[in-house]
A and B are shown apart, each in its own frame.
Chain A
């Protein structure tokens, strides 16, 4: 709570027809009375944890709040709209994006992954896959050299080492074992392992530590493959294979160091023990899951599926009500969701209807902001720790937005 926005705790009687702008005016008047140098600030209002979007009377009626009693209305500084920063053109569709504090890594349908600076300057092109790159991930950074992962439709995952000073990239390992396109990859919190999910219904856990020795291949009767491995890094085999899904795995993530979560086309999200490979629990939906995201701040899973809804799940819940909330505003499949790394209520979702939406879970009826810059399907979104929202899609463009979340929650 910021002291500067504090007002006295006195109940006010407010006209029922007042809207957000009216309430904001009331608070500003009060603040002007208290502080001399007050500048006008737009506020947003929360009535019992729900954002006020309509007239106060309508809101209270839909939320079943009596107008007779004193209602606490919280107010927060209005979230400013994300400011568009860069539009980075690619040669082909962007299938995936992951950014860390300095660099943006994108995977594209032109069989390459690219590294960009935050200013949108092309730094490096990582080429080596023989087919479409489906997912990318940063593993870790050691000074100037970084490790990164790319997965592809050619059934391999490549572990690359990139030196940012000399600006050269080297394929360290080629992870073979999947029998389908590798659609998703996730690096564990300790940055030593990663898990991949594939169209062949399997999850495989691999070591993310580069070595100089080649893993023993189980099958030696593949001379053509052998040649390729000599070209592109050392062959690596999985540490563990987890099977259980009945359909293609679409998304995988680490909940913590021991727990894995995977979403699949068989309408389930499954939680796995990463040590033993055993299945812990299953969340069953009724549509194909495209993507999931987990927020350690609010301990919720967000899922996007082949319908219009973003659903929030409680992965720990034991009772039947698994879906906590449905966020409905998209008009197409939700292809990407990502929780804010710093704010426990906010998430961003991308959809086939060309729109990226910024959500606050306290306003489940309508999103905070629609980012309608894309001209074609949105395929991936990301949200970095330092407040950058990225979205890429089938219009070959990667948009970045600067979004400053005001963490401050003002008083009642």
Chain B
């Protein structure tokens, strides 16, 4: 169990990959926290007070002090609760971990979205090509069981989207990006990550996620007709 450093609240929604990142981080360290479910169509006054700039989840509130942006929050959690470190010890390795976490958000997630949620074939093809290129870099970076080595680190937590949400999107919209043939290491890592004893307790229900993406895709197709 992690040390008690005061009250921790996490504002989020169960389906959000960014919220789940923070939740997994807290759970891996055994931090006690209260999860406050937000209705994103009717955001609470508290959320708007704690994250007036982006008005988004996740927001972590520690002893009344709010923080936004999932990767910023995770580094904060790592600095307060020192057990199960998410970043390596050596500055260069730490820099690489930060580099790849950023890479996931900037270079992997956007083309996956572009490829998936469009009715335009050109967009889909371009997005797919960019996604494959980006995942190739990650495939080559994976040298151990996890990006963090033998234990989960910040890059694994950031890449959770690829392990869980990407396959759900692929099923929902009929896309093939993360295949065993093209990405044997990344595919194996996805299974390890999503089956990890702590991670699997903190992922949303898969059929609900697939259903959500199916509905989103259908509305985009309908709107294009």
A and B bound?
no
Chain A residues engaging chain B, CB cutoff 8 angstroms: none
